[in-house]
Amino acid sequence: MWPLDPPAITARNSYNACVASTKDPYRRTLLLAAGDSVEAAGERFRQAAQARTLHELLDADFTVPGVPSQDAVQWIYGNGMVNTQLGRAVYDQLMAAPEDERCPLCGHGVVRTLDHFLPKRMFPALCVDPLNLVPACADCNHAKGDARPVDAETTPLHPYLDHIDNDSWLDARVAGTDPVWLEFYVSPPPTWDALLIDRTRHHFDLFGLAKLFSVQANRTVNNIRQYLTSAFAAGGADLVRAYLTEEASTRLAHRPNGWEGVTYRTLALDDSFCGGATFT
């Protein structure tokens, strides 16, 4: 939902880092021999992501040759990436990518884990592919679960690949006044195609962003209530609106679709709110 630069490390280099320290000679031989197949699987993944056909990928094309799927995930990801020095360096590099440790799936939570965009249980050949590993907060990781896309319209947005933040797509309206309550929604620009609109709205619903943002907006209003009351007493609705507009401009310049900036913008445009109806 909120973009990240694609990882610089390749799928093959990540895989090699995760299997290189395997202590068991037979296991290490099996894993190293599967390197070409894993690299090819990564290329199929990238091509499908580019074509927006991830839902068409077949589990059978993403196994690790000679290794049962459950063992592959444990050996390569559980042991190799999480518990070896070389693999952990890749893990830490991916975890450090988001600015201010902000979850790219919701734009609010703190990054706590790496989420497999395509489930590692079904796609073991991608279990340490950097493009398939998205740093995420615990809530988003739980909301997404172990599901795989079933069609193009319900494929969540991929932070490395779907860079939609150049457009303004998040909006809100004042839906209640006692207390003030903002209702957030996806407002796509006219340049978007139908598939991108469907995917964005699905992503918005999947991760519960409407409620998440509304709760945060309500807290923001409570935090600034005393200042708004003072500003209204000093300069009326015009001073309140000027303050809200300036705060919106500052925040939206940094994050065009951040809930904070949209909150201030929405309140600045609401005559009833600026007139003191809900905070004085």
pLDDT digits (tens, 9 = 90+) for 87-96: 999 999 999 9
Predicted pLDDT of residue 2: 85
Is the residue at 118 inside a domain?
A: yes
* Euclidean distance between CA atoms 42 and 130, whole angstroms: 9
Tens of pLDDT, residue by residue over 14-65, are 999 999 999 999 999 999 999 999 999 999 999 999 999 999 999 999 999 9
Same domain? For 130 and 175 the reply is: no
Same domain? For 26 and 118 the reply is: yes
Is the residue at 165 inside a domain?
A: no
Predicted pLDDT of residue 279: 74
What DSSP element (H or E) covers 136? strand 133-136
Q: Which residue has better confidence, 276 or 14?
A: 14
Is the residue at 102 inside a domain?
A: yes
Number of domains comprising the chain:
2
Tell me what the mean pLDDT of segment 136-159 comes to: 94
Last residue of a domain, one of 144, 160, 184: 144
Whether the CB-CB separation of 251 and 261 falls below 8 Å is answered with yes
Residues 163-186, buried b or exposed e (16+ Cβ, 10 A)?
ebbeebbbbbebeeeeebbbbbeb
Is the residue at 18 inside a domain?
A: yes
Is the residue at 196 inside a domain?
A: yes
Same domain? For 127 and 187 the reply is: no
Confidence grade of residue 164 (pLDDT, cut at 50, 70, 90): very high
Same domain? For 197 and 137 the reply is: no
Domain that holds residue 48: 11-144
Dihedral of the alpha carbons of 76, 79, 81, 82, in degrees to the nearest 10: 150
Instruction: Answer whether residue 158 shows pLDDT above 90.
Output: yes
Same domain? For 38 and 113 the reply is: yes
Tens of pLDDT, residue by residue over 118-147, are 999 999 999 999 999 999 999 999 999 988
> What average pLDDT does the chain have?
94
Instruction: Answer whether residue 178 shows pLDDT above 80.
Output: no
Tell me what the mean pLDDT of segment 250-278 comes to: 93
Answer positive or negative: Cα dihedral of 128, 134, 137, 140: negative
Among 160, 208, 161, residue whose Cα is nearest residue 184: 208
Tens of pLDDT, residue by residue over 62-86, are 999 999 999 999 999 999 999 999 9
Tell me what the mean pLDDT of segment 221-242 comes to: 95
Instruction: Answer whether residue 280 shows pLDDT above 70.
Output: no
